Structure 1
Amino acid sequence: MTLLDQSLVAVSLPQIREDLDASINQAVWVSAAYLLAFAVPLLVTGRLGDRFGQRNVYLAGMIVFTAGALACTLAPTIEWLIALRVVQGLGGALLNPQPLSIIHRIFAHHRRGAATGVWSAVASSAGLFGPVIGGLIVGGLGWRWVFFVYVPLGVVSLVLVARNVPRLPTGASRIDLLSAAVSFVAVLGIVFTLQQGPEVDWAPWVWAVLGVGVLALLLFLRLQQSAGRRGTAALMPLDLFRHPNFTLGIGAVFTLGFTVYSVNLPIMLYLQEAQGLPAELAGLMLLPMGVVSVVMSPIIGRLTDRVPPGRISKIGFSALITAMVLFGTFMHLGLGPGWIPLPVVALGLANSMCWAPNSTITLRDLPPTLVGSGSGVYNTSRQVGAVVGSAAGGAIMQMGVGVIGFGAAMGNALLLPVLVLAFGLLAVSRFRADGRPVERPVADRPEG
């Protein structure tokens, strides 16, 4: 459901703009507010699962998420809608880190790739079929029903999780509230600046907010180093970064979040406003992406357990770069909808070869005591990437419209991720087969 949201809502944004008389920036904030509220608490919510049980935290998050969605259906103005999207984002932050933690605690090392492949297929079916579902709902019933669809899905999820998901042993460590508060300030300051900076022409106060965020980040890292001396458990244990595959994987997932969470809006705007397609048909144009990803993800997941780390990921990142180049080029040339299925299929294949292998390789060698915090850091990196990508894409679109033409502006928003994905490709190319942590120097180890 949390992954369905971005692609589902993206289809409805043109109608939301018209119905609520919203600007492009306000339309971007309908997505960005959700992503911001989603990203900020993830470091904490991953640890909450360890503390109170992944099942319990998931159920609480689903209640908040579903209630927020129901309220969105009644939003009278664009400002109210943006505020209620924050509520949805907070619910998503609670529930989203828990499934990966459960997978990596239940399944044996050699089966985690297969399990994560199934998880990835479900996630892909939600995120990539969202434009199809959204197009049918928006075209037939209107944008408010896009949010109402979460209500029955949320109820079903609550019942099935309460009945079937096991209660796993919980940790006794208390949450470091000081670190939690500082992490909120750090993530909020940085991603808010990147989102709002272009809208206010990078006014001095925006740079001040960024400075506060950076200082909070440095303080947060210092607090993690001193957690033991302060008699508390680190919110983000620095031992996580002794595992090379974890460090590389969170860098790679940042680039994935930057790309995948920001592509639907320019694609939908191009198809509907530049090419004149109705919302239903624009959504159906992305159907092959979902089909390819759902079919291939479980297969790729099983292969991840059998082949050297990084081999599949390198092919996937290369396919993702190719898809972005094709999208951007076709839009610059103003080509018709008949050309769009080519990059759509490439994007579906790339998704299946990027997400499941990356999450499996990043987390599978962590000890059980670090899985919850590792999942929180992993999801935070993905969501911060999504917010940054959404902000950067929104800025590119706003700067380009009226200067280089609507279609070219949408194309530029899809070419931007190519530069970021190059770093992701470099990261996954360095995955290690042994997955063993790097030993710290003796002087850095705690006494006793």
Structure 2
Amino acid sequence: MKQQSPSKWMTLVAACFGLLMLNIDLFIVNVALPTIGHDFHTPLSTVSWTISGYVLMIGILPMGIGRLGDLWGQRAVYLAGLAIFTGASLACGLASTIEALIIFRVIQGIGAAIMTPGTLAIIIRAFPPHEHGLAIGINGGVAGLGLIAGPVLGGLLVQGENWRWIFLVNIPLGILALILTVLFVPEEREANERVPVDWPGLLLLSSGLLFLLFGFTQAGDEGWTNKVVIGCILLGIILLGLFVVIERRVRWPLIDLTLFRNPPFVMGCLGFFFFSAALFGSQPYWSLFLQNTWNFTPLQGGLAFLPATGLIVILTPLAGILAQRAKAWLDIFLILALLLNGLSFLFVMVVLSSQSTYISGFLPAFLMRGLAIPVFMSCATLTVMNAVPKKLSGLASGTIGMVRNIGTAFGVAVLSQVYLFYVNTTIPTSLGASRTAAEQFHVLGQGVNRLLLESNIIDGFKLIALACLLLCCGAAILIFLMRIQARKKGITTPIQEQKPHLPISSESEFVR
């Protein structure tokens, strides 16, 4: 039964506190990788699995877990994830070997994956439909604050070769989040829902996504022709195909696939995929360029993103209100945000040179990005959440997390190969170690060779920007075409204001 919350605003605070902790942790570990490797005498390729293992979990689990939250209650599932995350944070801080740290990071990622769909679902259920835009905007602003705090806090905590505090700091935060959730987040579950969980479907979905994401992750290092990469991607596609076949036949499917015939839902998911591939997929290469090519420190590299993330924090609540009022024009704002993000990459392609500085080469692009992200995130989130009944908010939230993480992994892999292909075909093999260093954006050598390497690194980075521009424009075109198709079918307002535009007999049949 639905319980009464003391205040929808306190519910928002409780959910956003957990979200802030997750976003800080997602970015805080990046700056500590060299210190962790030095402490454990382990190469960076091994240490990086402390991030890869975490990201894999938050990529494969949210969609299925989000549906479990709809069935079992978002509050209970969210609390379980929060407890796992906090306990795993303690274990990470006390880890004595790199193998143990990687295992505990995977467990921490499982906790984060359980929490992720619950934060947005709890907020959506706490607020009336006409205030969803504001709530989503505040939620996005808090997430943006995590983008700021993560790299900066990480840069401060790893001073003096001490990296363990980046995990131990989660203990008091996690305990406080647990208390806030127990006090201010009501349980909301329909009394007539006694639906058995489709465990085979959940296993197939998670396994398929695991192999697919692992294949994308390895493709960034090994290339798309590597046998392991090809095998993992093919196996992932086969398992996901089998999942679709089974879900169409079981009585109580984990996910009703008719949801993906819903144009607004698909538009939002497509937008998230391509936007994440371009923006978040390129993020590591911006950091590598700043730190390795321009010799920024990790803290300086984190602060370089401050203009964009600062605008995100400030503007996202306002963008949420704009999205709420846009109604039938929501997808147009979605398209405009994609194009503005593409314009930020076009600026880099045109302006960046060996004489560029941060202010002349990157700052305008970051400012454009800071304007585009709030509008896109608010419009895309509201589009997806409005496209399903309220009781499926966990599934919708989990789907957002899934397509965003798959898009990011896909973007990292594609952009890595774009850059490596250019560098390896334009820099002579005779340069040896300098050519290898250029693959990581390092400029080695002297005189003419150094100028050649720097020029090729810059041109390779501009090629990454071109790929990102194409991803953004491609997404905008796809969404525009889907908008035309939706208008032809008479879908002119947000789905939540109507009955879901799905070939089903009733909402209860859809939820089952």
TM-score tier (shorter): 0.7 to 0.9
CA contact (8 A) 1:195 1:387 kept: yes
Quote the Cα distance in structure 1 between the aligned partners of 2:178 and 2:302: 28
Q: Deviations over 1:70-102 (max 9, x none)?
A: 222334454443333211211111000012222
CA contact (8 A) 1:309 1:433 kept: no
> Does the C-alpha gap of structure 1 residues 126 and 403 become closer, same or farther in structure 2, counting only changes over 3 Å?
closer
1:239 to 224, 238, 258: 258
Instruction: Give the CA deviation at 1:117.
Output: 0.8
Instruction: Give the CA deviation at 1:373.
Output: 2.2
2:504 is the counterpart of 1:423? no
Deviates more, 1:43-52 or 1:361-370: 361-370
CA contact (8 A) 1:136 1:279 kept: no
User: Counterpart of 1:291?
Assistant: 310
> Does the C-alpha gap of structure 1 residues 388 and 29 become closer, same or farther in structure 2, counting only changes over 3 Å?
farther
The alignment-based identity, stated in percent, is 27
Instruction: Give the CA deviation at 1:427.
Output: 4.3
1:372 to 388, 394, 408: 394
Quote the Cα distance in structure 2 between the aligned partners of 1:193 and 1:98: 27
Quote the Cα distance in structure 1 between the aligned partners of 2:176 and 2:478: 38
CA contact (8 A) 2:220 2:412 kept: no
User: Counterpart of 2:428?
Assistant: none
Instruction: Give the CA deviation at 1:143.
Output: 3.2
Q: Deviations over 1:258-280 (max 9, x none)?
A: 23433443233222222222222
> Does the C-alpha gap of structure 1 residues 304 and 96 become closer, same or farther in structure 2, counting only changes over 3 Å?
same
CA contact (8 A) 1:104 1:364 kept: no
Unaligned segments of structure 2, at least 5 residues: 1-20, 424-435, 443-456, 484-490
User: Counterpart of 1:215?
Assistant: 238
Q: What is the identity, as a one-letter code, of the residue corresponding to 2:313?
A: V
User: Counterpart of 1:434?
Assistant: 493
Deviates more, 1:69-78 or 1:373-382: 69-78
Q: Deviations over 1:279-338 (max 9, x none)?
A: 222222222222211111111111111122123222321222222344566666463333
Quote the Cα distance in structure 1 between the aligned partners of 2:296 and 2:232: 40
User: Counterpart of 2:11?
Assistant: none
- Residue aligned with 1:236, SS: coil
1:131 to 122, 138, 151: 151
Q: What is the identity, as a one-letter code, of the residue corresponding to 2:330?
A: P
Quote the Cα distance in structure 2 between the aligned partners of 1:28 and 1:420: 26
Q: What is the identity, as a one-letter code, of the residue corresponding to 1:32?
A: S
Q: What is the identity, as a one-letter code, of the residue corresponding to 1:435?
A: P
Q: What is the identity, as a one-letter code, of the residue corresponding to 1:337?
A: Y
Q: CA RMSD in A?
A: 2.8
> Does the C-alpha gap of structure 1 residues 439 and 357 become closer, same or farther in structure 2, counting only changes over 3 Å?
closer
Q: Deviations over 1:345-371 (max 9, x none)?
A: 222222111111110111113123433
Deviates more, 1:431-440 or 1:296-305: 431-440
Instruction: Give the CA deviation at 1:163.
Output: 0.9
Quote the Cα distance in structure 1 between the aligned partners of 2:109 and 2:230: 25
Q: What is the identity, as a one-letter code, of the residue corresponding to 2:469?
A: V
Q: What is the identity, as a one-letter code, of the residue corresponding to 1:90?
A: I
Question: Matched residue pairs, number?
Answer: 439
CA contact (8 A) 1:139 1:279 kept: no
User: Counterpart of 1:12?
Assistant: 32
> Does the C-alpha gap of structure 1 residues 227 and 385 become closer, same or farther in structure 2, counting only changes over 3 Å?
same
Quote the Cα distance in structure 1 between the aligned partners of 2:417 and 2:46: 12
Structure scoring higher RCO (CA < 8 A, sep ≥ 6) equals: 1
Unaligned segments of structure 1, at least 5 residues: none
Quote the Cα distance in structure 1 between the aligned partners of 2:465 and 2:101: 26
Q: What is the identity, as a one-letter code, of the residue corresponding to 2:341?
A: L
Quote the Cα distance in structure 2 between the aligned partners of 1:253 and 1:97: 15
> Does the C-alpha gap of structure 1 residues 438 and 110 become closer, same or farther in structure 2, counting only changes over 3 Å?
same
Q: What is the identity, as a one-letter code, of the residue corresponding to 2:475?
A: G
Deviates more, 1:70-79 or 1:159-168: 70-79
- Residue aligned with 1:291, SS: helix
Quote the Cα distance in structure 2 between the aligned partners of 1:68 and 1:150: 10
1:151 to 142, 152, 171: 171
CA contact (8 A) 1:24 1:398 kept: no
**What does 1:12-411 correspond to in 2, within 5 Å?**
12-20=32-40, 23=43, 25-26=45-46, 28-139=48-159, 142-170=162-190, 171-200=193-222, 202-228=225-251, 233-307=252-326, 308-327=329-348, 333=354, 335-339=356-360, 340-395=362-417, 400=423, 402=437, 406=442, 407-408=457-458
Quote the Cα distance in structure 2 between the aligned partners of 1:72 and 1:413: 34
Quote the Cα distance in structure 2 between the aligned partners of 1:426 and 1:28: 36
Deviates more, 1:14-23 or 1:344-353: 14-23
Instruction: Give the CA deviation at 1:226.
Output: 0.8
Quote the Cα distance in structure 1 between the aligned partners of 2:159 and 2:416: 24
Quote the Cα distance in structure 1 between the aligned partners of 2:140 and 2:293: 32
Instruction: Give the CA deviation at 1:136.
Output: 2.6
Q: Which has the larger radius of gyration?
A: 2
Quote the Cα distance in structure 2 between the aligned partners of 1:274 and 1:80: 33
Deviates more, 1:377-386 or 1:200-209: 200-209
User: Counterpart of 2:432?
Assistant: none
CA contact (8 A) 1:129 1:287 kept: no
Quote the Cα distance in structure 2 between the aligned partners of 1:428 and 1:319: 15
> Does the C-alpha gap of structure 1 residues 200 and 141 become closer, same or farther in structure 2, counting only changes over 3 Å?
closer
Quote the Cα distance in structure 2 between the aligned partners of 1:428 and 1:16: 43
CA contact (8 A) 2:134 2:317 kept: yes
Q: What is the identity, as a one-letter code, of the residue corresponding to 1:251?
A: L
User: Counterpart of 2:487?
Assistant: none
CA contact (8 A) 2:268 2:381 kept: yes
Q: What is the identity, as a one-letter code, of the residue corresponding to 1:214?
A: I
Quote the Cα distance in structure 2 between the aligned partners of 1:85 and 1:394: 24
Deviates more, 1:426-435 or 1:165-174: 426-435
Deviates more, 1:354-363 or 1:424-433: 424-433
The TM-score with structure 2 as length reference comes to 0.78
> Does the C-alpha gap of structure 1 residues 273 and 117 become closer, same or farther in structure 2, counting only changes over 3 Å?
same
> Does the C-alpha gap of structure 1 residues 255 and 20 become closer, same or farther in structure 2, counting only changes over 3 Å?
farther
Deviates more, 1:60-69 or 1:391-400: 391-400
CA contact (8 A) 1:193 1:209 kept: yes
Q: What is the identity, as a one-letter code, of the residue corresponding to 1:298?
A: P
> Does the C-alpha gap of structure 1 residues 72 and 204 become closer, same or farther in structure 2, counting only changes over 3 Å?
same
CA contact (8 A) 2:259 2:502 kept: no
Instruction: Give the CA deviation at 1:40.
Output: 1.4
Instruction: Give the CA deviation at 1:216.
Output: 0.8
Quote the Cα distance in structure 2 between the aligned partners of 1:22 and 1:176: 41
Instruction: Give the CA deviation at 1:402.
Output: 4.0
CA contact (8 A) 2:208 2:237 kept: yes
